[in-house]
Amino acid sequence: MYFFKHINKIENELALPGDKSISHRSLMISAMAEGESEINNLSNGEDVKTTWKCLEQLGAAIFEDNGKIKVKGKGFKNFDKPKDALFAGNSGTTARLLSGILAAQNFQSIITGDESLSQRPMKRIIEPLTQMGSNIESNDFKLPIKINPSKNIKAINYTLPVASAQVKSSIIFAGLHCEGETKIIEKIPSRNHTEKMLNLKTDKNEEGKIIFVSKKDYPNPSKFFVPSDISTAAYFIVLTLLTPNSYLLLKKVSLNDSRLGFVNHLKKMGAKIKFENVINNAAEPYCDIFVESSELKNIQIDKSDIPNLIDELPILTIAGLFAKGEFILENAEELRYKESDRINTIVTNIRKLNIEVEEKSDGFSFHDNVKVDTSEFESFGDHRIAMSFAVLSMLLKNGGNVNGFECVNISNPDFIEQVKGISC
């Protein structure tokens, strides 16, 4: 349990660790390339460390050098057979993206995970990878999965049944090993880090976005700068917006167009948020974000925006608790398949505020604002639930407790120190 006292004011600037999604991908792409790559500002979260360890088991050499991460990659289909199962911990990104790489290797590999990850769906990657010629055994389409060697990985045309950057990236990584060209059709846009970092050709038609990938796109050694994580910044943005007479400058935050749904929605709610010092001449654009205290009004969340703010929905809900009008979340059933069933865990915690919440299969709604002075919340072992209700606790007059708060190490182990550095 950790007690968060009431925050009177936020003022300062804050530099956050690198974006978790980009960090995973920069490590994997560097490990695939033959030769030495360099990564600056890699995330220090446990999920990314898990990817690091798995890639080392596959023969990549990864080490720190003067504050930067160097990766000596293995080259095309040249990873080493791991001596033991690859443990993906709590990281769905690790498990799903590595599966795409391992589907094309000439050895058998096994991916396991912790209790939470072992309950999350893997059918969404097993089906397309099987269509490409991979031979994958699973525990009823859940971890552990055994990926058997395959000599005939082939290109496919695949329409994504759900908006998922992890599924898309898994297919892309497998497609990098095919002679022919794989076409991935994405009806609803999701995070586009993988295709941007690999500089893949894309197009659009009446069905949606098409991503093209083949052996010709296999990566070469590169230098990566990982901007700060917009998902991590989200908690500090909401804390500042809802704390009177406050401001915050967040440094070098990712400005990727597929990650701005959260900020754009907050602006529509009335949030005072400005982009400064925009850098566009990079594979991943970034900027400084200036935030000021604001009065917010709840508005409808567009269905098309859900995939690009899915990770920020828990903290957006906290903003909704202090905004005018009814908060309604729909079309977000994917939240049930995260580190926790986030629809249920959010609802459970909100009800501790004596607020009536209507829970549905794809979301929830409430129309009351926060009236209690203090409360005690559960993290449910989910880092995003823990940080969201830590922010809520700091907004309560007498603060609040979050049980199991240590799970934040998955993405941002320095959260408490960061809060101390910007608060009064």
List the catalytic residues: 311
Structure-token pair, residue 15 = 């530099």
Question: What is the Cα–Cα distance from 173 to 343, expressed in whole angstroms?
Answer: 31
Beta bridge partners of 179: none
DSSP string, 300-338: PPPGGGGGGSGGGHHHHHHHHHHSBS-EEE-S-GGGGGS
Helix (H, G, I), strand (E, B) or coil at 383: helix
For 405, which DSSP code?
G
Dist. CA 360–CA 353, nearest whole Å: 19
Residue that has been written with the tokens 């654009």 in this structure: 285
For residue 238, the Cα-to-chain-centroid distance in whole angstroms is 18
Distance CA(366)–CA(351), nearest Å, equals 10
Bridge partners, 213 (sequence order): 182
- Asked if 158 contacts 131 with a C-beta cutoff of 8 angstroms, the reply is yes
Residue 352 DSSP symbol: G
3-state secondary structure of 158: strand
- Dist CA 387 CA 389 (whole Å): 6
Residue 404: DSSP 8-state: T
